[in-house]
Structure 1
Amino acid sequence: MLDRLVAESDTIWSRLRIEAAETARQEPLLKSLLCVLVLNCPSLESALARLIAGKLAAPLLPEEDLYGPALQVCQRARGLGNAVRRDLLAAVERDPACNSLVHPFTNHKGFQALQTYRIAHELWQEGRRSLASHIQARASEVFGVDIHPAARIGTGVFIDHATGVVIGETSVVADDVSMFQDVTLGGTGKESGDRHPKVERGVLLCAGAKVLGNVRIRVGAKVGAGSVVLGDVAPYTTVVGVPARPTARSRQDDMLHWQPADAASLAIDSLCLPKV
């Protein structure tokens, strides 16, 4: 479903503009905001750059100074536009409280923090690591979400509520992953180098889940709320507890938060993401 709609990317941008216009009509107090963030922008990429620059602006680094680099990244980064569109659609499809594209775009800090990461990641890859690190720090202050710009994150990712989410430097998150507030993809404190989790496609990380160390959460697995994962989790397995242990095995066609994909694309090693 996501991929079919993303293929119609102009439709997504048009839908976002139509929804923004209708929201402005229904709530005139938001008209100026929606004009700046959506209606006066020529593309989704420019709207995203305006959104992120406005969110992260500070007295010593004003919005217009951030907007230029953010827009350049959004326009030239291969695959970023597709990622933004898949993330938007994921929010609408997986959040029962969300019935429009304009709502996550303008209001959801999980979506906004993830897109901020995407811009910072591109800057990191380009060697502009001081700016990328500053953007990470500001995003942590503004959204309460700390995603290292060197982490590798796929598309169609949904971060609900988002407060307290931490994703470490060598983490890898595949497509179609969902996570809730207070999730940590961290190290154990006893390792260096490649020391963070690898989360495969379609995984669900519930509120407060802590995944520590260079472990793998295999395709379609679920980690229960408040669980602490210190070892690999098998595909389509639910784990809970401290330390987390398996409780059930789910059939692939029973997964509610993920649409199954071709098996060849499920392995974390096949992610078409830039190398750190």
Structure 2
Amino acid sequence: MGIPNPALDSSLHNSECLDPIWDAIRKEAKLEAEKEPILSSFFYSSILSHNCLEKALAFALANRLQKPTLLATQLMDTFFNVMKQDKGIQQSIRLDIQAFKDRDPACLSYCSALLYMKGFQSLQVYRVAHALWGQGRKILALALQSRISEVFGVDIHPAAKIGDGILVDHGTGVVIGETATIGNRVSLMQGVTLGGTGKETGNRHPKVAEGVLIGAHASILGNIRIGECVMIAAGSLVLQEVSPHSIVAGVPAKVIGRVHDHYPSLTMQQGN
């Protein structure tokens, strides 16, 4: 569950190949439109009228984030232009949506992640904002960060570095600071904070390695490393580095056990 598919990975790097994720999304949209005719126009405008996943995603995000002074057409053009020029973002989109489909039992289909799940949507807007930040377009990147926070209740600084195959479950209240890094295949529940400890400047936020599962409303503060495949219990306050494959809990958090699953972020078993 959640392990990258070699066929999918190869298709991400070859524009001549079919796109199995996009094919599945279109199939789902057609079936849903048939089952709920009242939504047929919605599915057509959101998915079936587009020729690729990037266009459909840009459309969905632009319509969620638009406001009178930030037009949907402008946002859609910006999102799509960034996505189509960045192979890394194209891969991240597909690995993220697969993560939601595999790990979140509330995610009934790829369509539901794309159209309804604010954890997925906010993560994809962050990816565009991160690319813009790297291009020196920092004002626009920060404007998108602000808009994500207003609409989704998720605050991710565009300078943060986030890997692929990420699940942001529910999303509400998630805060990720400017110098935070998150490895591949990490799962974060609602209310997670990757923050600083005060007014320090420079490299001041956590570094979360691959395969980590962070429970709801856990706070990880300071420039500390969370090792591979760690499980952090809900409500924990983590102020010190955590060695790989540890289970930590409490305020402040202490090691209470060892992880037996290779990737707790994939199994999502928080009761170990």
1:213 aligns with 2:215: no
In the TM superposition, residue 121 of structure 1 has moved relative to its aligned partner by 0.6
SS at match of 2:173: coil
Structure 1: which 5+ runs fail to align? 260-276
Given that 2:101 and 2:108 are in contact with CA atoms closer than 8 Å, whether structure 1 keeps it comes out as: yes
Which segment drifts farther, 5-14 or 34-43?
A: 5-14
Q: Which one of the candidate residues 205, 215, 222 is aligned to 2:231?
A: 222
Given that 1:5 and 1:12 are in contact with CA atoms closer than 8 Å, whether structure 2 keeps it comes out as: no
Given that 2:229 and 2:264 are in contact with CA atoms closer than 8 Å, whether structure 1 keeps it comes out as: no
1:231 aligns with 2:240: yes
TM-score of the superposition, structure 1-length normalised?
0.90
Structure-2 separation of matches of 1:30 and 1:144 = 26
Given that 1:2 and 1:90 are in contact with CA atoms closer than 8 Å, whether structure 2 keeps it comes out as: no
Q: Which one of the candidate residues 78, 102, 109 is aligned to 2:118?
A: 109
SS at match of 2:220: strand
1:3 matched to which residue of 2? 5
In the TM superposition, residue 70 of structure 1 has moved relative to its aligned partner by 1.0
1:80 matched to which residue of 2? 89
1:185 aligns with 2:187: no
Structure 2: which 5+ runs fail to align? 13-18, 268-272
Given that 2:210 and 2:228 are in contact with CA atoms closer than 8 Å, whether structure 1 keeps it comes out as: yes
Given that 1:6 and 1:82 are in contact with CA atoms closer than 8 Å, whether structure 2 keeps it comes out as: no
2:270 matched to which residue of 1? none
In the TM superposition, residue 5 of structure 1 has moved relative to its aligned partner by 5.5
Equivalence map 1:108-147=2 (5 Å) = 108-147=117-156
Structure-2 separation of matches of 1:167 and 1:49 = 23
1:266 matched to which residue of 2? none
Of all paired residues, the percent bearing the same amino acid is 45
Question: Can you list the C-alpha shifts for 1:118-161, whole angstroms capped at 9, x where unaligned?
Answer: 01111111111111111110010000000000000000000001
Q: Which one of the candidate residues 60, 63, 75 is aligned to 1:54?
A: 63
Q: 1:180 to 1:212 in 2, by over 3 A?
A: same
Q: Which one of the candidate residues 164, 173, 185 is aligned to 1:155?
A: 164
2:257 aligned partner, one-letter code: A
1:246 matched to which residue of 2? 255
Runs of 4+ in 1 over 2 A off after TM superposition: 1-9, 255-259
Q: Which one of the candidate residues 259, 262, 266 is aligned to 1:258?
A: 266
SS at match of 2:197: coil
Structure-2 separation of matches of 1:218 and 1:99 = 31
Given that 2:213 and 2:264 are in contact with CA atoms closer than 8 Å, whether structure 1 keeps it comes out as: no
Aligned length: 258
Structure-2 separation of matches of 1:93 and 1:51 = 22
Given that 2:175 and 2:193 are in contact with CA atoms closer than 8 Å, whether structure 1 keeps it comes out as: yes
